[in-house]
Each structure stands twice: as C-alpha cells, then as structure tokens.
Amino acid sequence: MDKTNRNAIQSTTKVLKLSNRDAGNAAEPAPDSTVKPTDLAAGSARDTAKTAAGLGADRDAGPVAGASASPGAAIAAGPAIAEARERIARPIRSFVLREGRLTAGQERAFRELWTRFGVNWQPGETLDPQALFSGGPPDLSQPRPITLEIGFGNGESLATMAAAAPERDFIGLEVHRPGVGHLLLLLEQQGLTNVRVLRADATALLETGLPAASLDRVQLFFPDPWPKKRHHKRRIVQPSVVAAVAQVLQTGGIFHLATDWTPYADWMLTMLDNANALFENCAGPGQFSPRPAQRPLTKFERRGQRLGHQVHDLIYRRR
C-alpha cells in the first residue's frame, strides 16, 4: 500500500471515530455479524429522525470512497447534531416571538411597574391566584372570582374589562414585551389594582402552574389561527389544552373563546363539543354564541371586521 492511500485511510478512520463519538452511536457490528430485522428497523427509525432534523440519513456511513474528509469537519458537526436533537425534543409552541422595539414609556413600565403588577413565574412552580391580589394570605372565606386571559395583545380590552368589573380579579398572560409594557402603562394611568400580568407559555401555566378549580373564567380571544395545515399542530386549542383549562376551572366556570378565522372557529367548536364530558356549550351543541356585552371589541376584531371577517364567539360552561 503506498503512502498516499495509507494516509487517506487513516484520515477517514479518524473522521468516523470523531463522528460516532459526537453522535453518541454505539460501536458498529463486526463485518461478519448477522444483520437482524430489528437492527434494520432501528436504523430506519434513526435515519427518519435524522432526516426530520435536517441531517443526512447516511451520515453514519462516513465519507464515500475516494472523498477527502477533514477531522475538523467532524468536530464541527458535534454542535450541529446537538442542536438538531434539541430541535426534535423542543415542545411545540403556539406562538413565535417577533418583537418590535420597546418605546421609552414601555421600557419605563418594565423598570418601574413590573414589581407592582408583574408576576415572576417559572415552570414547576404553583401559583396561588388569590394571594397574588391580597398582598398576603388570601381571605378564603370570601374569595374573589378570578379571570385568566390568555394572550391579551396590547392589553386595551383587558384593562377595559377590569375597569368595568372591580369586584373581579384578572390575570393577564402575554409573551410579547411591547404588549405587556402597554398594559402596564394602562394599569398605571387608570389606577387599576385588580390586574396581574405574567409573561409565560400558557400551556405550561395551565398544566402545572395553577391549582385545580382555582379560576372562575378563562378567556382566549383571537389566538393565532395558524392557517396552513402543516402548522395546525401549533394551534393552542388542542385536546390537551382543553383538558388543562377544565382542570383549573371551577364547576360552573366559563371558557370563552373568540376568533375571526372561520376555519379555526370550526376547529374550536369541534374540540370543545367533543369534550362534552367536561364542558357544556352555552349556545347548544354545534352553535356559536353572540358576543356578550362584557367582551369589548378588540383591535384584532376591528381589523377583522374591516377585512370582512365574521367573528365567532364560543362560550362553554365547566360541568
């Protein structure tokens, strides 16, 4: 064997070892090993996962004969593989953070008002909704009804509802900082004390962050419809979320949804009507509800009306 071929084989062997180390693969079977059907199935599953992660299914085979390979390329592949694995395991979100710049007023709101109205919550913690408003141990003999609004946008409709119902407390949930800052300013300007604000993933909060039967009402107005079929898995209204809302609502509590996207309205109606062991459609099975007076027109609703979209309200009562 000449020196050139020997160096090429050594280089290829080193690349394969580094690649297998980074990918966490087990040692390859000996050349005379019998390949079992289960091995083929495992390999197929691995290749499918790699394809979904944007990696070539033939990566484990190493460089093709005669191709030059650099050990540095294999070393660099380690972070790429780790990132791909993280992407596979990452939970599906119903939102994408596309934030604009904060105004000077919104920046001031975060500095000066968050400690008054904001709630710092981390997944794994359980909030006591009554204690958020009492400033101390809640008076359980006279609990106040609490509404959770998921995705309050710029907060104007939430502030309007809170001002109109001082006997009720409101928890507003939003991930976009400009909207949160805008609501904080509204709370300060209007002197409202019955609103608390969280920046968190609604699904995580519903599933682990609230005690059972701790809310009187949950509101979900004009969530992202994710209209493309391949994105339907990102819609927040899913059977698991419906069950999580039922868990945190008291018996007789209300789940109120609204959308100006008719296909999404039909999706919501199907999801909630199918959960008839948990919820009762206040308008009757298969029916939408008229907009109640206590729900003010939102920015999204006004925009939808200008575009000729029909707005659908869905109101369900917890059984």
CA dist 214 and 39 (Å) reads 50
Residue 60's alpha-carbon distances to 27, 30, 69, 192, 278, in angstroms, are: 11, 15, 14, 61, 49
Residue 318 CB-density burial (10 A; 0-12 exposed, 13-18 middle, 19+ buried): buried
Residues above pLDDT 90, as percent of the chain? 61
Question: Which one, of 236, 224, 245, 152, lies nearest residue 195 by Cα?
Answer: 152
Candidate list 22, 47, 60, 224, residue with the active-site label: 224
Query: Residue 131 carries which side chain, given as an amino acid letter?
Result: A
What residue ranges define each of the domains in the chain, with the CATH number in brackets? 3-89 (no CATH), 104-318 (3.40.50.150)
Q: Give the pLDDT band of residue 149 (cuts 50, 70, 90).
A: very high
Reported pTM:
0.70
pLDDT digits (tens, 9 = 90+) for 249-303: 999 999 999 999 999 999 999 999 999 999 999 999 999 999 999 999 877 788 8
Residue 224 annotated among the catalytic residues of the structure: yes
Q: How far is CA 217 from the centre of its chain?
A: 20
Angle CA(101)–CA(91)–CA(317) in degrees, nearest 5? 90
**In angstroms, how far is the first alpha carbon of the chain from the final one?**
80
CA dist 311 and 265 (Å) reads 9
Q: Regarding beta strands 312-318 and 169-173, do their DSSP bridges make them parallel or antiparallel, or are they unpaired?
A: unpaired
Residue 291's alpha-carbon distances to 153, 159, 176, 271, in angstroms, are: 19, 18, 26, 20
Strand partners, 29: none
What are 301-309's contacts with CB under 8 Å, separation 24+? 301/221, 301/222, 301/258, 301/260, 304/222, 304/260, 305/260, 309/260, 309/261, 309/262
CA dist 250 and 317 (Å) reads 10
Whole-number pLDDT of residue 89: 46
pLDDT digits (tens, 9 = 90+) for 46-101: 444 444 444 344 434 444 444 444 445 444 456 555 554 554 445 665 445 566 78
Tokens 């909630």 correspond to what residue?
Answer: 272
